[in-house]
């Protein structure tokens, strides 16, 4: 927990005034930031299409979730709207040389139609498997990013090895990062040390 020492009362102790130093203890807080990536058309490609967003904010990653929303596909005369054939997709996210597999090509059947709207979260109750809508654990671990600096390029890779070029579009994607809860500050610890020193001096004086 962070410890806040009232400086005026600390000064009073050190000068011998008859005052008790107050220490306030409160819960630590963590910061959360969400970074939205750009929309990209026609992402069901082989070789892969990569969408990139750059984080300008420098902070340490404590937890990371990722949402990916993809719609399909183009209208073709005689066939109607193509529905994505998303069973052949492999999705990955890369940052600072670390790559995490979100989901891989799981073949056919089953057939997975658009839209694909998934939030990847290591703490989700269910693994991604063949699911296409909801909150799921990725195949890899997003905790691989924990402890890294958030700043820099984030690259979302989309590879379709089964039914490429049907016109599926990456409508939206975003990264939500929570920083670790802060530890007590050096100033607070130093303040407690001064408080102990001042108290000892008062005892010797009496």
Query: Domain residues of the chain, as ranges?
Result: 1-29+183-206, 30-180
- Global pTM reads 0.71
For residue 109, is the peptide bond before it cis, meaning its omega torsion is within 30 degrees of 0?
Answer: yes
| Confidence band, pLDDT 50/70/90 cuts, at residue 15 | very low
The rounded mean pLDDT for the chain is 77
Cα distance between residue 31 and residue 79, in whole Å:
49
Phi, psi of 26 (to 5 degrees): -135, 165
pLDDT digit string, tens, across residues 171-199: 999 999 999 876 655 445 545 555 555 55
Using alpha carbons only, what angle is made at residue 20 by residues 14 and 23, rounded to the nearest 5 degrees? 95
pLDDT average, residue stretch 22-47 = 78
| Cα–Cα distance for residue pair 106/111, rounded to 1 Å | 10
ω into residue 110 within 30 of 0, thus cis? yes
Does pLDDT of 11 surpass 60? no
Report the CATH number of the 30-180 domain. Answer: 2.60.120.260
């Amino acid at each position: 927990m962070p410890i806040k020492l009232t400086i005026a009362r600390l000064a009073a102790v050190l000068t011998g005034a008859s005052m008790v130093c107050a220490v306030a203890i409160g819960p630590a807080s963590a910061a959360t930031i969400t970074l939205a990536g750009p929309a990209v058309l026609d992402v069901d490609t082989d070789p892969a299409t990569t969408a990139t967003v750059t984080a300008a904010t420098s902070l340490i990653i404590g937890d990371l979730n990722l949402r990916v929303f993809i719609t399909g596909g183009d209208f073709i005369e005689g066939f109607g709207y193509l529905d994505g054939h998303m069973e052949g997709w492999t999705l990955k996210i890369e940052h600072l040389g670390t790559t995490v597999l979100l989901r891989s090509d799981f073949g056919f059947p089953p057939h997975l139609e658009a839209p694909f709207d998934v939030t990847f979260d290591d703490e989700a109750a269910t693994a991604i498997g063949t699911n296409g809508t909801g909150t799921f654990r990725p195949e890899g671990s997003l905790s691989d990013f924990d402890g890294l600096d958030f700043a820099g390029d984030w690259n979302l890779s989309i590879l379709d090895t089964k039914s490429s070029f049907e016109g599926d579009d990456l409508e939206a994607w975003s990264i939500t990062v929570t920083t670790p809860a802060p530890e007590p500050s050096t100033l607070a610890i130093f303040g407690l040390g001064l408080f102990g020193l001042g108290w000892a001096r008062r005892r010797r004086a009496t």
